[in-house]
Every structure is written in structure tokens, then in C-alpha cells.
Structure 1
Amino acid sequence: MLALCGIGAELLAAYGDNTGDPGGIAFALVFFGALYGAPALLARDLARRASGGWPAMLLLFAALGVAEACLIDQALFATDYQGYEGWEETREATFVPGLGLSAYNAYNFIAGHIIFSFGAPVALAEAWRPDKATEPWLGPFGTVAAILAYGAAAALIISDPESQSADTTQLAVSALVVAALVATAIAVGRRAGRRGLPTRTRRHLPVRVTFIVALGPAIAAGLAEETWAGFAVGVAAIVLAGLAVLCAAGRYDWTVRHVAAVALAFLVVRGSLAFTYFPLLGDVAAGPKYLHNTVMLTIVLLAGWAALRSRRP
């Protein structure tokens, strides 16, 4: 799951100059495993210990996404970040002067982290072992190791002058948003723990149907352009997907495999769209680029197969 977090967050999209570079990919798997995988494990364990389930988990993932985009690499406030092609144009297209950020970037970064950096890899990993899906995975040693790994990776990024774009007010507000999301997640967990689990019998929903339906909002979100209209389409697609999941979970026999099917749909769309553009940084030849895309999408498909394959009850 640590590797899958790094793949979902960065390597699957193939927009960096490490695309097609075996050494760069190997380093990225370790580094991004620490930056994304370690906090994903910590947030998942906190939500599972609090009996909060996915509502609490998603709130914690949102807190991690805000922390990453606003406090760690501070990309949301950068006017020109790491030399990425088209950065300034994208930022200006939906710039909000009072906040000092791009509305589209806020949606793209934070929603992207929630789904691809944390949520989707966790969903697939839980479906690999359904019997352990609602249990914490980390003991004391694992928890300390994850905290240290996350802290070290975050510190390396924060120390980079390119990641110091936010002013004091922006940092303070971002920290308050992170704290509010964490507090809300804990409150949701406590409420869910008191309420208990539903016991009524529900109708069966084929996992493949869940995957196919989820492809719709995943494609809409993935194709949303970097404009105000694209921002509206992207947000609407994510909200629609969330409402559909809530509706299906209330009406059908919703399992970890259904959650994994939704996650896989978003990952497959992300990996497929990566074939349609070249990296935004560096000069990557076509051969290594398309081989990279194929390998990363194959890893996602194998992870999805392992999550969705039929098992005896």
C-alpha cells in the first residue's frame, strides 16, 4: 500500500521528469511511500480505532491533502512551482485574489490527494484482506516508524526554498483548516461508534456495476479543464460520486469490494489519461514515457484485480 500511494499520487499521472527513469521511479516509490503512504496508514488507523469508518477517514485524508498543498510543499500558493509548464496560466485562469490561490488548483490538489494519494490505495488494500478491513494495522513500532517517515519526507520538502510560497496568514489559516478537519473526523468517529453498525438485510449490488457506474464521474473529473467551468464540472463530478456512494451504501449490501471498485475506477481513468500528454517537466522520449504509463497502469490493474476478485464468504 505504501508503494501504491506513491503510484496513485505521482507516478500514475506521469507528469514529472522521473517518468520512464528506473532510478527516479525507485527513489519516488520510497520517498512518496513515506510522504503519502505513511500518513495514509496513520489516518486509516486513527479512523478505524475511533470506529469512524470512511466518513472519518475521508475527513482525515482531506486534512492531509490541505497540509500537503498548503503547509508542506505550499504549491497552492506558488506563482511558479518547480518550473512546471503552464503553471502560471493555470493559476491565473481561476485565481481568487482574496485567498491568493487558484480555485481549480485547490480542487485539483486537495481532491487529488484525497482520492489518489490516500483514499484509493487504502480502499484497494482493505479489499485485499477483507477480514482485516475494519481493524488497525499498525502496532506501536509501526506507528512510530510511520510518523518518523512522514516527518522526514515532509521536512525535506519544507526545507526546499521552492516550497516556501505561503505567507504567515495563509499558513495560519491552512493550519486551522487542518485542525478543524481532524476534529470533525474524531467527532464523526465517536458518533459512529455510539450508533453501531446497521443490521438490516439489503439487496445485492454487483461489484462490476459499481465499477462501471463510477467510471462516469471519474472521467468527468479527469477531463475537467483548468477553467472556472472545469472547476465546476470537477467539483460536481466528485460530489455526484459521493452522493451515489451514500445512496448505494444505504440501499445495497455495500462491502469493501464495492469501495475498492469506486477507487479502481478513478485510478484507471487517471492512468489512462496519462497516455494523452507528455510530462510537464523535463524532456522524456516517447518510448520510455509510454512504457512507464503501461507499467504503472498494469500495477493498478493487478492491484484492482486482487481487490475485486471473488472470494468465499
Structure 2
Amino acid sequence: MSVESTPAPQAGPPVTLDRDRSKPLRILGLLALCGIGAELLAAYGDSTGDPGGIAFSLLFFGALYGAPALLARDLARRIGGGWPAMLLLFAALGVAEACLIDQALFSADYQGYEGWEETREATLVPVLGLSAFNAYNFVVGHIVFSFGAPVALAEAWRPDKAAEPWLGPFGTVVALLAYGGAASLIISDPESHSAGTTQLAVSAVVVAALVIAGIVVARRAGHGTRPETGRRLPIWVTFTAALALAVAAGLAEETWGGLAVGTAAVALTGFAVLRAARLHDWTVHHAAAVALAFLVVRGVLAFTYFPLLGDVAPGPKYLHNAVMLAIVLLAGWAALRPRPT
């Protein structure tokens, strides 16, 4: 009996794995940028100008803001969602932070911050037990500065990876533990027990509704088609327009009139972005330009006041402001720098 020999398999082209070596840097950069955008850039706390306090704040706020930003972003991206879905999820995180974790929205004198009571009384809604301006300032502030703007810049660092999830199973677990640990430390503080039972229950319902809405929007976006776009809008035009709106929002006074101005500026920004995305070739760089404008305004305005807590000397205070603004500008340059075609 003869044995028929089989030809040896032909060697094909070498298999290369697309390893994203920059992903750990993007993740670490986003964690730091979330902490800076949320707290350190505004420089209103007593850690301003203190290197040790800043180092601790970067770690703590990276866990408190950066970790959930990563989780929300990954959730939206895994199910095909874009910015509408992410913003709803960021809104859920903002409500959770202000109403369930530190409960600052319901506090009459939170942590002894200077001017807190006056600001709260100016737009107090007694039946809700909260300040309308604070509700706008805290929730919108978290959406923009704690989550949205840092994510927009980080995604533009590697545009080809912007629509992909960045965390694997291990990274997701680490992010959940980091967020849970940081939030637990704040909740354990007696100063964070300002909300009543009804306020906590309603806030939890709002958070759940926003999460569900974000998932629904993401799933619908994943099954939809991208609308036709026209010519590309210059980045400088996007940045300039966003800068003007960010200035209007940033200078809004803590009154009912200021609330109207700030709300209008933010709403107009959202409308303009949606309109531009439909009429033009909108890219991650345009989103980054909007994000950078709002962060720059926040950083510049921080030069105009001293921390609301503690006694900080002018030298360390202004150096802190300059360094934080420089970090934001560097992150913006990395997002918007020209790339070879």
C-alpha cells in the first residue's frame, strides 16, 4: 500500500498584531486630565500651589473622575454610541457626584467654602432644597470639565482609536474598584450627608434614567447611518466660536440672570455642534477644539480669584494656575497638532 504524500503548506505573509502601544499613555493622560479639569484647573481648594496636595489630588481625582469617565466612554463605544450617548452617561455621573456622593448640591455650607451660603441663597428653590445655579454649575460643570472635555482631547490624541474601547476586562475591574473606593471615601465623610431620603431617592432615579437613555441612544446610533457631510469646517473657526461661548458661560454671575446666560451659552454650544456635525465633515479634532476652548477659559478665569478654602500665597497660587493651564495647552496641542497625511 502506497502512502500519498501531501504537499507542505505554503508560507503566507507574516501575521502582525496591531498592538496599540500608546493606549496606556492615553489612559493615564485621561485620568490626570479629568482630575485637572474637574478640580485643579479651577484652583479653588486649599491644595492650590502645594506639590504634595497636588500629587495626592491627581491620584484621588483621577480615580473619582477619570475612572468613571473611562467606564462611561467604553460603555458607549462598545455598543456603537458616540457623543450624544456619552454626554448622557456623563450627565448621570455628574448627578451622582453632586447628589449621591458628595451631596454638595443639597448642602447649606459645604466644607466651609467662602461664599457658599450667599451663592446658594441667590437662586434657592426651597421646595427642592437646592440652588438652581448650583444645579447648573455642578452638573454641567462635571459633564464638561470632569468628563467630556478630557475625553474629547484624549480621543484626538489617536483619532484612529477614538471609536474603540480602551479597557479590557482587567482594566474595567480596576476602574470600577478605583471609582468605588474614591466615592466611598467621600460618602464616609459626615460633610457629605446633606441630602434627605427623598432627595437621594429622586437623584438615584435621575441617574438611572440618564444611564438607560445613554444606552438606548448608543444602541440606536450603532444601527443608524452617518448623515452626509459637506466640506470640512476649519478648526480655528470651531475653536474661536466655542471660546466665545465658553467665555459667556464662564462669566455668568451666580444669579437667576447668570443662570439664564450660562444655560443659553451651553445650549447654543450644543446646538451649534450638532448643526456643524450635520453640515460639515466633523472630526474628533473639532470636538477637541470645543473641549480645549472651555478648558482654556476655565484655566484663565482661575487667575482672577484666590482659593475659596485655605490661605494660599500669591506666588504658589499663580504658579499653580500657570502650570495647570500649560498642561491643558499641551494636551490641546497633542490633540490638534498637524499630522502627516
User: Shorter-normalised TM-score: what interval?
Assistant: over 0.9
Match of 2:293?
Answer: 265
Question: Is 1:12 the counterpart of 2:41 in the alignment?
Answer: yes
Give the C-alpha shift of residue 98 in structure 1: 1.1
Question: Is 1:231 the counterpart of 2:270 in the alignment?
Answer: no
Matches for 1:154-303 after TM superposition, within 5 Å: 154-198=183-227, 200-303=228-331
- Over the aligned positions, Cα root-mean-square deviation in angstroms equals 0.6
Give the C-alpha shift of residue 197 in structure 1: 2.7
**Residue in structure 2 matching 1:147, options 151, 155, 176:** 176
Q: Following the alignment from structure 2 to structure 1, what is the Cα–Cα distance between the partners of residues 35 and 179? A: 13
Give the C-alpha shift of residue 52 in structure 1: 1.3
Give the C-alpha shift of residue 50 in structure 1: 1.4
Q: Following the alignment from structure 1 to structure 2, what is the Cα–Cα distance between the partners of residues 44 and 175? A: 21
Give the C-alpha shift of residue 312 in structure 1: 2.7
Question: Is 1:68 the counterpart of 2:97 in the alignment?
Answer: yes
Report the residue type matching 1:45 in the other structure.
D
Bigger helix fraction = 1
Matches for 1:115-130 after TM superposition, within 5 Å: 115-130=144-159
Report the residue type matching 2:330 in the other structure.
L
Q: Following the alignment from structure 2 to structure 1, what is the Cα–Cα distance between the partners of residues 124 and 253? A: 14
Q: Following the alignment from structure 1 to structure 2, what is the Cα–Cα distance between the partners of residues 42 and 224? A: 31
Question: Is 1:311 the counterpart of 2:339 in the alignment?
Answer: yes
Residues 1-40 of structure 1, C-alpha deviation per residue, up to 9 Å, x if partnerless?
Answer: 1000000000000000000000000000000000000000
Q: Following the alignment from structure 2 to structure 1, what is the Cα–Cα distance between the partners of residues 340 and 84? A: 28
Q: Following the alignment from structure 2 to structure 1, what is the Cα–Cα distance between the partners of residues 232 and 108? A: 50
**Residue in structure 2 matching 1:111, options 140, 151, 160:** 140
Give the C-alpha shift of residue 292 in structure 1: 0.2
Between the two proteins, the alignment pairs up a number of residues equal to 312
Q: Tell me the secondary structure at the aligned position of residue 205 of structure 1.
A: coil
Residues 21-71 of structure 1, C-alpha deviation per residue, up to 9 Å, x if partnerless?
Answer: 000000000000000000000000000011110000000000000000000
Q: Tell me the secondary structure at the aligned position of residue 82 of structure 1.
A: helix
Q: Following the alignment from structure 2 to structure 1, what is the Cα–Cα distance between the partners of residues 301 and 106? A: 26
Residues 257-295 of structure 1, C-alpha deviation per residue, up to 9 Å, x if partnerless?
Answer: 000000000000000000000000000000000000000
**Do the aligned residues in 1 keep the contact of 2:63 with 2:178 (CA within 8 Å)?**
yes
Report the residue type matching 1:173 in the other structure.
V
Match of 1:95?
Answer: 124
Q: Tell me the secondary structure at the aligned position of residue 306 of structure 2.
A: coil
Q: Following the alignment from structure 2 to structure 1, what is the Cα–Cα distance between the partners of residues 145 and 340? A: 29
Give the C-alpha shift of residue 191 in structure 1: 0.9
Report the residue type matching 1:309 in the other structure.
R
**Residue in structure 1 matching 2:66, options 7, 28, 37:** 37
Q: Tell me the secondary structure at the aligned position of residue 64 of structure 1.
A: helix
Unmatched tracts of structure 2, length 5 or more:
1-29
Give the C-alpha shift of residue 209 in structure 1: 1.0
**Do the aligned residues in 1 keep the contact of 2:238 with 2:286 (CA within 8 Å)?**
yes
> What TM-score results when the alignment is normalised by the length of structure 1?
0.99
Q: Tell me the secondary structure at the aligned position of residue 199 of structure 2.
A: helix
> What TM-score results when the alignment is normalised by the length of structure 2?
0.91
Give the C-alpha shift of residue 201 in structure 1: 4.5
**Do the aligned residues in 1 keep the contact of 2:229 with 2:278 (CA within 8 Å)?**
no
Give the C-alpha shift of residue 210 in structure 1: 0.5
Q: Following the alignment from structure 1 to structure 2, what is the Cα–Cα distance between the partners of residues 77 and 31? A: 23
Question: Is 1:21 the counterpart of 2:80 in the alignment?
Answer: no
